[in-house]
Structure 1
Amino acid sequence: MNNHLIFQKIIRKEISSNIIYQDKIVTAFDDINPKAPIHILIVPNCFIKTANDINKKNKNVIAHMFYIAIQIAKEKKISEDGYKIIVNCNENGGQEIHYLHMHLLGGTKLKTLY
């Protein structure tokens, strides 16, 4: 299944979504199935299937994703209390959409998974 197409359509604004931030490198938008009061997805505008597909050519995209996540956390006033940044990889890692994406979660006390 090509479920990664949904992210590409959001990036191109072909699907209505609450875009929080967008530049030439990344797009950030509200998760449609939030697990916390603040649950934002940050995706690269260029297609990267999984964390395993990060390479020398696209590694700077990942740094920019983290940078934008931190800026959004500050803007949403969750940076001081704390937040999570999660990247899932493949089926056993919980990745449901095969398009690299980062989850920014906050706004409440979050449980630890380990």
Structure 2
Amino acid sequence: MSCIFCKIVEGAIPAKKVYENEHVIAFHDIQPQAPVHVLIIPKKHIPTMNDAAGEDFVLIGEMHRAAQEVARELGVDQTGYRLINNCGKHSGQEVFHIHYHLLGGEFLGPLVS
């Protein structure tokens, strides 16, 4: 499979992991947009949020649980963080394996005014 995130799950590509359980991995983004920028991915390949179905929603819940743990571990749980999922080309999704960006470590400001 040519999915870079699947290769990270398999261990074929190294990543600086901050969290892992049997369903989810979280690792530092190689092009951080904030002092804390972690990607949270399921080990199961799901291309976009629109492709999630059935039991995938339990897996998405596991991703949210991982986000809480990562935020706590990296010290942004009290100051705040942003959790972003891009779905599709027009949103800016570049890797078609569902994932969240967890950003924090500085004031991020509002997304819209």
TM-score scaled by structure 1? 0.93
CA distance in 1, matches of 2:9, 2:17: 9
Residues 24-70 of structure 1 deviation map (CA, whole Å, 9 limit, x = unaligned): 10111100110000000000000100010111121100000011111
Identity %: 38
- Kindly report the root-mean-square deviation, in angstroms, between the aligned alpha carbons of the 2 structures: 1.2
Count matched residues: 112
Return the TM-score normalized by structure 2.
Answer: 0.94
Q: How does 1:69-88 map to 2 (within 5 A)?
A: 69-88=67-86
Q: Write out the 4+ residue segments of structure 1 that deviate beyond 4 Å after TM superposition.
A: none
Pair 1:11-2:9 in alignment: yes
User: Is there any run of 5+ residues in structure 1 with no aligned partner, and where?
Assistant: none
Unaligned runs of at least 5 residues, structure 2: none
CA displacement, residues 46-97 of structure 1 (integer Å, 9 cap, x when unaligned):
0100010111121100000011111110111111110000001001111111
**Structure 2: distance between partners of 1:101 and 1:112:** 21
